[in-house]
Amino acid sequence: MPSSRTGRPPVQRTVRRPAASRTVRDNPVRQLYLRAKKAWDRPLTAYYLILGGSLLITVLGLVMVYSASQIKALQMSLPGSYFFRKQLLAAAIGAALLLVASRMPVKLHRALAYPILAGAVFLMALVQVPGIGMAVNGNQNWISLGGSFQIQPSEFGKLALVLWGADLLARKQDKKLLTQWKHMLVPLVPVAFMLLGLIMLGGDMGTAIILTAILFGLLWLAGAPTRLFVGVLSIAGLIGLILIKTSPNRMARLACIGATEPRSAGADCWQAVHGIYALASGGIFGSGLGASVEKWGQLPEAHTDFIFAVTGEELGLAGTLSVLALFAALGYAGIRVAGRTEDPFVRYAAGGVTTWITAQAVINIGAVLGLLPIAGVPLPLFSYGGSALLPTMFAIGLLIAFARDEPAARAALAMRQPRFGRKRGAGGSARTREPRRWNTMRRRASAARTSGER
């Protein structure tokens, strides 16, 4: 080794690593972000978000329905768990529908589009027949099934429009007809307006708004030109404005936006103001499950349209933000399924279902917060009401089926096997059965031995 002028060996300098790589390796926040991003991009992320998010919303909704409906049931001389038991029965039937829909192939979903549309139109027309249809809260959109059971056919009209519209647009895209505006609008817009007319005959403005949002979502996904989109939106807005102007009830609801007093601008804003009172009294973590004060007769429709207000009072800001996060995750997963598929029907149907659930949640929560007029629509999967819960859970099953049908998701599900299990074709009891992983390792060890080993 050559020596320096002082006779000492030269000092060996260590090579410094780049600061960027050391920062990434040593920063725990950065590592957590990279792991979360990697997990977020996995093929089954949308599948787990849809399945887990919808189940969590439904279960939390059952808890809040039980809490918010007890006082209402006792006031009607009914058992305190009356509404909860009916909602639990609807959730059980909805879970079966979700499972069936999630296992059905896409071709069968497309085959059901026309029968569901025909059935929904027939039931919605049947509502207007005297002696069959019945009015609830001023809206004639219900059919009595006997006893305390009722059905609202307009809720199934949402599912019918999504399936039929997606099948129609997919077939026209396959024939390259969507480049012509008349094929994009006809017969989608006339059929949607027919459904809207049947709904508005009963006076249900809220459901009509949701159906209009689904129509616009389908047109947007189909690539409608801006001028065509604006034209349809202008016509729908003009019709909505006329319907609002000609109804004193709807004008009163519009006047209650941002109200802070029970009587504001000459309108009765009792429900809107007490919804704000419930949210304001909840604080950060709420007054506790079952401890709501507003549900004791002060807040109308506490277990249906304004269940989000009771959630804010009992679970606080933490509970309401959790519900919002679950709906946001569900919406993101639906958009991801619609954006990653190559099947036009899957894209339109997934986009339509996502538009439906997201728009309905925004309208309901916006009304509770006083930012939008009270439209009388329930919070999807959360509010009381079997007629709204059943088609929504079937629609969630559609999203699950579409998320499972992605090529990467199919491959991931095919590779997923239990870590421990019984060997194929092997007998024996549970005690003598050996884990699959141990058997695999033993076979590898036996194969690695030489012929002379014992």
pLDDT of residue 65: 97
Q: At what angle do helices 113-126 and 153-174 cross, to 10 degrees?
A: 150
Q: How confident is the model at residue 267 (pLDDT cuts 50, 70, 90)?
A: low
% of residues, the chain, pLDDT over 70: 85
Match 């996995």 to its residue by tokens. 42
pLDDT of residue 9: 59
pLDDT of residue 454: 36
Which of 37-41, 205-209, 279-283 bottoms out in mean pLDDT, i.e. has the lowest? 37-41
| Position 162 pLDDT exceeds 70 | yes
Give the dihedral sign, CA 81/83/84/85. positive
pLDDT of residue 247: 81
User: How much is the average pLDDT of 319-340?
Assistant: 96
Match 């006047």 to its residue by tokens. 255
Q: Per residue in 367-406, pLDDT tens?
A: 999 999 998 899 999 999 999 999 999 999 999 999 998 8
Highest mean pLDDT among 63-67, 145-149, 201-205, 413-417: 63-67
User: How much is the average pLDDT of 63-90?
Assistant: 95
pLDDT of residue 29: 83
d(CA 173, CA 349): 14
pLDDT of residue 216: 92
Record the pTM: 0.84
- Count, residues in the chain: 454
- CB of 274 within 8 A of CB of 298? yes
Beta pairing, strands 149-151 & 139-146: antiparallel
Q: How confident is the model at residue 42 (pLDDT cuts 50, 70, 90)?
A: confident
| Position 439 pLDDT exceeds 70 | no
- CB of 377 within 8 A of CB of 360? yes
pLDDT of residue 351: 97
| Beta bridge partner(s), residue 149 | 146
- CB of 153 within 8 A of CB of 143? yes
Mean pLDDT value across the chain? 85
pLDDT of residue 420: 46
- CB of 413 within 8 A of CB of 404? yes
pLDDT of residue 434: 45
pLDDT of residue 315: 97
* Cis peptide bond upstream of 187, omega within 30: yes
Task: Specify the higher pLDDT residue, 331 or 9.
Answer: 331
Q: Per residue in 182-231, pLDDT tens?
A: 888 899 999 999 999 999 888 888 999 999 999 999 999 998 888 887 88
pLDDT of residue 169: 96
| Position 433 pLDDT exceeds 90 | no
pLDDT of residue 56: 97
